[in-house]
Amino acid sequence: MADRTNYDSLRDFIAHLEFSGELARIKEKVSPILEITEIADRVSKSPGGGKALLFENVEGSSMPVLINAFGSQKRMAMALGTGDIESIAADIDALIHMKPPETASDKLAMLPQLFRFTKFPPVMVSASRAPCQDVVLTGADIDLRLMPILHCWPEDGGRFITMPAVFTKSPDGARNVGMYRMQMYNRMTTGMHWHIHKDGASNFHEHARAGRERMEVAVAIGADPAVVFAATAPLPHGVDEMLLAGFIRERPVKLVKCRTVDLEVPAEAEIVLEGYVDVAERRVEGPFGDHTGYYSLADEYPVFHVTAMTHRKAPIYLTTIVGKPPMEDCYMGKATERIFLPLLKTINPEVVDYDLPWEGVFHNCVIVSMKKRYPMQARRLMSALWGAGQMSFAKMILVVDENVNIHDYKTVARLMLNNLSIPDALVHSEGVLDALDHSAPLPLCGAKLGIDATSRIEGEPEVPSPAAAPTKADFDSGLIWLAGAEEVSSFSLPLMDVKNPLLIISVKKREAGDALKIARQAAEADKGRAFRIILALDEEMDAADHSAALWKFFNNCDPKRDIVQSDGRLFIDATAKLPDEGHGREWPNEIVMDRSTVERVDELWPKLGLGD
For 229-269, write each residue's pLDDT tens digit.
999 998 888 889 999 999 999 899 999 999 999 999 999 99
Catalytic hit among 240, 290, 514, 558: 290
Is 290 catalytic? The answer is yes
CA distance 52 to 10: 13
Residue 576: the pLDDT is 96
What mean pLDDT, rounded, does the chain reach? Answer: 92
- Nearest 10 degrees: CA dihedral of 64, 68, 70, 72? -150
In 3D space, the residue among 273, 267, 303 whose CA is nearest the CA of residue 285 turns out to be 303
Residue 102: the pLDDT is 61
Residue 345: the pLDDT is 93
Residues 6+ apart with CB under 8 A from 505: 482, 488, 490, 491, 518, 519, 522, 534, 535, 536, 537, 543
Helix axes 595-608, 35-44, angle to 10 degrees: 70
Structure confidence at residue 280 as a pLDDT band (50, 70, 90): very high
The pLDDT of 145-149, averaged and rounded, is: 98
Residue 117: the pLDDT is 55
In the three-class reduction of DSSP (H, G, I as helix; E, B as strand; rest coil), residue 390 is classed as: helix
Residues 6+ apart with CB under 8 A from 118: none
Give bridge partners of residue 396 from the DSSP assignment: 365, 449
In 3D space, the residue among 50, 86, 17, 51 whose CA is nearest the CA of residue 336 turns out to be 86
All domains of the chain, ordered by start, with CATH?
10-100+129-318 (2.30.110.10), 330-452 (3.40.1670.10), 472-581 (3.40.1670.10)
In 3D space, the residue among 204, 310, 305 whose CA is nearest the CA of residue 256 turns out to be 310
**Three-state secondary structure of 443-509:** CCEEEEEEEECCCCCCCCCCCCCCCCCCCHHHHHHHHHHHHHCCCEEEEECCCCCCCCCEEEEEECC
In 3D space, the residue among 138, 129, 151 whose CA is nearest the CA of residue 272 turns out to be 138
In 3D space, the residue among 73, 76, 341, 113 whose CA is nearest the CA of residue 247 turns out to be 113
Using the CB atoms, write b or e for 287-298: b if 16+ within 10 Å. bbbbbbbbbbbe
Residue 118: the pLDDT is 61
